[in-house]
Structure 1
Amino acid sequence: MELQREKKYIRLDQVSQQEIDMLILRVNGCSWRQTFHIQPVSGLLNDPNGFCYYNGEYHLFYQWHPLGPFHGLKYWYHTKSTDLVNWKNVGIAIKPDDYFDSHGAYSGSAIEHNGNIYLLYTGNTRDENFERHPHQCIAIMDAQENIIKLEKSVLDKVPVGYTEHFRDPKLWKEGERFYAVIGAQRTDKIGCVCLLSSSDLLEWNFEGELATTLHLFGFMWECPDYFEIENQGVLIFSPQGLEPEGDLYQNIYQAGYVLGKKIDLQLQELAHGNFVELDRGFDFYAPHTMEDPNGRRLLVAWMGLPEIEYPSDINGWAHCLTLPRELMVQDGKIIQKPVQELQSLRKTKVETADRISHEKKVYDGFSGVIYELICEFEQGDALEYGIEFRAGEDEKTVIKYDAEQGKVILDRTLSGKVIGSTFGTERKCGITEKVYKFHLFVDASSVEIFVNDGAEVFTSRIFPDRKSKEIRFFATGGTAAFKAVKWDYK
């Protein structure tokens, strides 16, 4: 049986083991399989869910459609790690096999309570007319990692004034009460976030809409996440339906945050500043955070976007998760840094330093497919300087600083197989300080670039030929000095 898109709601247990094995064989034959990122064994991965620390391990779940690289029947898949670097696939965590999640186990979050992990998620159902009816559901994981769903949903109706797009609850505890923000769409088709509360995680109340100053800001707010950091309140969410404004909002859908005062749970309001995109690249959505035992606020996101086709689709799989990042507040904005545990991946090290003028140069040892690279520039009088990587005869991905525009630019026009070209092949952001540092994590089909120690980040999938390995440093319109260090990972 060919697994066609029209069979998107077929369950894994309705497919023969032979078909599954054939699909996995096709997936494993793909040259773009990642090496140090979380990726699905087959099919499609999307939103990260339930990120938590429990019994000495980090647990991370994600939405998973196992039977192909398209958005079909969603399961929760479970992976775990002791160090945020080496992840072990545990297997399916939540199956969509009850009346309240019959058409998919959608996004949610986790919290420890009474020695167990409680997972609050949205169950997707559709009636005989194929109309959506969301439920909010609880599953409980014990110390042996057995996961049992409650026999009924804990919130089975959408509140008056909102459409069926009511999903993705994110949990936290305040005093003796549990709260969750949940993504919603008003009946006037405007996106927003609502508040839920519970005394025991088993019965939930709708508290109302969270008041913000973002009015008419897209048609749906997905995957909200509220937390407090350095005595301030942060609301992360993924608004759909924003129109591009200059260099902003260039992807099909966005992901970002507002930073302000702590949430006022009595008034149900959040006083905050402007909405800021978390990532300036092409492929970043549905970010999800947790606080670890060291007090760090950690973030992972889906390295992909809805409604965009990717070159790995033909190999039967799609998407991965970003590397874990630590969030901090600096000068009134969130900065993101790769977690320090990633340094354990570093193997062979090479270094170089030079002053380049109106030229492009390569250096011994600076090439590869999978590596970490840190390059620090001194601008001099160059109008533009940067790095070409995963470069070959006809391919290259470029990160550069344009001093005339005062912008960092990521260009994947020639990065290999084309992705989402309708939305352009460059991403730019203005930056007020001098750009002196590019920190790249390059995997088989992705790059994450931290600019100026995480002041800005560019996350993108790229699909070049395996032969495209060169790293080239360049300066145009003048001179720039730089020093660079590279570590191979494998």
Structure 2
Amino acid sequence: MKSSNERRQIQLAEEEIKKYASIVESDPNRLRYHLMPPVGLMNDPNGLIYWKGQYHVFYQWMPFATTHGAKFWGHYTSHDLIHWERQAPALAPSEWFDRNGCYSGSAVDNDGVLTLFYTGNVKDDQGVRHTYQCMAISTDGLHFEKKGVVIYLPDGYTAHFRDPKVWKYKNKWYMVVGAQSVQLDGKVVLFCSEDLIHWEHIGSIAGGENGTFGYMWECPDLFHLSGKDVLIVCPQGLQPEGMHYQNVYQAGYFIGQLNYETGQYIHGTFTELDRGFEFYAPQTMVDEHGRRIMIAWMGVPDQDENKHPTIYYRWVHALTLPRELILIGDKLYQRPIEQLQLLRSEKVQYPNVSLQKEKRKFDGVKGKTVELLLKHIDGKGVLSINIQHHVSFSYDFEQKIATLERESFARNGEKERRQCALSSLQTLHIFIDTSSIEIFLNEGEEVFTARFFSNEENEDILFQTNEQVTFHLYKWKLC
């Protein structure tokens, strides 16, 4: 049973949706096949789970503004990961332990009970932050009852202690939490439990020392894949290194093995998950087919958030496409889920394309909601694909560098770029959705994710090379 205060907060949020629905939907930059907030600000995906025949995606949501504040948990459900239905908010800031925000967390199935874990954010009268790891439950997947605090802040950490991710291993529950030590180092902290209520603090399993790798680690997710334990995490405070760590904050992973007896996690080096401008706070789940599916926030904290053109229409940010994770060696590959093919129509194909020091448009290859696939790519020089004159992808066959460049929406059209090394380019898979682009290279070996904002009428896609490039080209309209 929700408290009267929480019911009131949810009612106010629903009223906000109705009040601004026509303004939000009038935005030409509104996406067509991605999850977005009905109004206000969206950030981290939360509580990803396949439960009783449905996919559930919760998300951090500020319904009353396009700035961060006392977050709700918004809620979408789907039968296929493609067509989504908005549900009433699952959680709202209302109690002493979460009155300044129901922050990020996860979901598990506890013997048929959908159980959420989240961070309760509280600021006292002096502005001092307090954080609590909290639980809520539901038997129908739609109505949630808060059960209160299950973990208080342990010794050795600051109040930047959040984002619990819970899973089960051999009849015991485990939780990782993103943390900051009192020495101001980013950490991932492990707990275990027999009943999801009483938790034992095992200790830090990964993190920097003496300021060597960030001052705070957010949104941890630890899971087993192809015989190894993958730890996804978002370190804050990394300095740029060449083409790496170019965003304000980063998202990446470690590959290793967790010893559940000792709590020791032996792992390799940190690898970025996405090479683009907007990607953060990824979370994963296992679906009914046994696939490890990842969805992330198509944004980054403190990175030009107040300059998005969509703010004029009372909303900001979105989530990425669902991606299946495949582990090959110690490398995570990300592949757009097969269900996206359900959105395809109006197929256009050009086999055996050969470009020689030229620019070319192809009949039928344009649009605002487009899937492009280039296969069997081979060439010399540089291949460039310019989309709506505002964003372009290029690959230099000699330098072996992939580049995403866009006109900055925050700095008056100034060109900005993100890059990565890539030893070869065989396939190029691009999803364009009005004001977003997701690019998958070599079956997901590398990925670029970004937002861009172009002229409303511009649908052009231009191919160019300064030497010679050959490929097979396929294009579909999506939705």
TM over 0.5: yes
State the match for 1:4 in structure 2.
Answer: none
Tell me, in whole angstroms, the C-alpha distance in 2 between the residues paired with 1:260 and 1:370: 39
Tell me, in whole angstroms, the C-alpha distance in 2 between the residues paired with 1:56 and 1:345: 21
Tell me, in whole angstroms, the C-alpha distance in 2 between the residues paired with 1:100 and 1:374: 49
The alpha-carbon deviation at position 23 of structure 1 amounts to: 2.7
Matched, 1:124 2:108: no
State the match for 2:102 in structure 1.
Answer: 105
8 Å contact from structure 1 (residues 212, 270) kept in 2: no
Matches within 5 A, 1:397-436: 397-413=391-407, 417-418=409-410, 425-432=416-423, 434-436=424-426
Amino acid at match of 1:58: Y
The alpha-carbon deviation at position 253 of structure 1 amounts to: 0.4
Amino acid at match of 1:470: D
State the match for 1:457 in structure 2.
Answer: 447
Amino acid at match of 1:271: I
Matched, 1:471 2:461: yes
Partner SS for 1:23: helix
Across the aligned residues of Structure 1 and Structure 2, the Cα RMSD in angstroms comes to: 1.9
Aligned with residue 62 of structure 1, among 59, 78, 84: 59
Number of residue pairs aligned between Structure 1 and Structure 2: 467
State the match for 1:282 in structure 2.
Answer: 277
Tell me, in whole angstroms, the C-alpha distance in 1 between the residues paired with 2:216 and 2:330: 26
State the match for 1:481 in structure 2.
Answer: 470
State the match for 1:238 in structure 2.
Answer: 234
Aligned with residue 386 of structure 2, among 365, 369, 388: 388
State the match for 1:437 in structure 2.
Answer: 427
Distance 1:267 1:378, change over 3 A: same
Matched, 1:202 2:200: no
Amino acid at match of 1:36: Y
The alpha-carbon deviation at position 346 of structure 1 amounts to: 0.2
Distance 1:168 1:486, change over 3 A: same
Tell me, in whole angstroms, the C-alpha distance in 2 between the residues paired with 1:168 and 1:274: 22
Matches within 5 A, 1:138-217: 138-143=135-140, 145-150=142-147, 152-156=148-152, 158-211=153-206, 216-217=212-213
Partner SS for 1:225: strand
Tell me, in whole angstroms, the C-alpha distance in 1 between the residues paired with 2:339 and 2:286: 16
The alpha-carbon deviation at position 400 of structure 1 amounts to: 1.1
State the match for 2:345 in structure 1.
Answer: 347
Structure 1: any 5+ residue segments left out of the alignment? 1-9
Distance 1:211 1:482, change over 3 A: closer
State the match for 1:7 in structure 2.
Answer: none
Matched, 1:81 2:78: yes
Amino acid at match of 2:222: Y
Distance 1:290 1:242, change over 3 A: same
Structure 2: any 5+ residue segments left out of the alignment? 1-7
Distance 1:234 1:114, change over 3 A: same
The alpha-carbon deviation at position 16 of structure 1 amounts to: 10
Tell me, in whole angstroms, the C-alpha distance in 2 between the residues paired with 1:421 and 1:457: 23
Partner SS for 1:343: helix
> Where is the strand percentage greater, Structure 1 or Structure 2?
2
Distance 1:127 1:455, change over 3 A: same
Tell me, in whole angstroms, the C-alpha distance in 2 between the residues paired with 1:29 and 1:293: 36
Partner SS for 2:267: coil
Distance 1:419 1:452, change over 3 A: farther
Distance 1:133 1:304, change over 3 A: same
Tell me, in whole angstroms, the C-alpha distance in 2 between the residues paired with 1:211 and 1:302: 23
User: After the TM superposition, which of the residue ranges 140-149 and 91-100 deviates more from structure 2?
Assistant: 140-149
Please give the TM-score of this superposition, normalised by the length of structure 1.
0.92
Task: Kindly provide the CA deviation profile for residues 142-162 of structure 1, in whole angstroms up to 9, marking residues without a partner as x.
Answer: 136321111x31113x11111
Amino acid at match of 2:430: L
8 Å contact from structure 2 (residues 390, 452) kept in 1: no
8 Å contact from structure 1 (residues 191, 218) kept in 2: yes
Tell me, in whole angstroms, the C-alpha distance in 2 between the residues paired with 1:218 and 1:100: 28
The alpha-carbon deviation at position 238 of structure 1 amounts to: 0.4
* Amino-acid identity (%): 41
8 Å contact from structure 2 (residues 185, 209) kept in 1: no
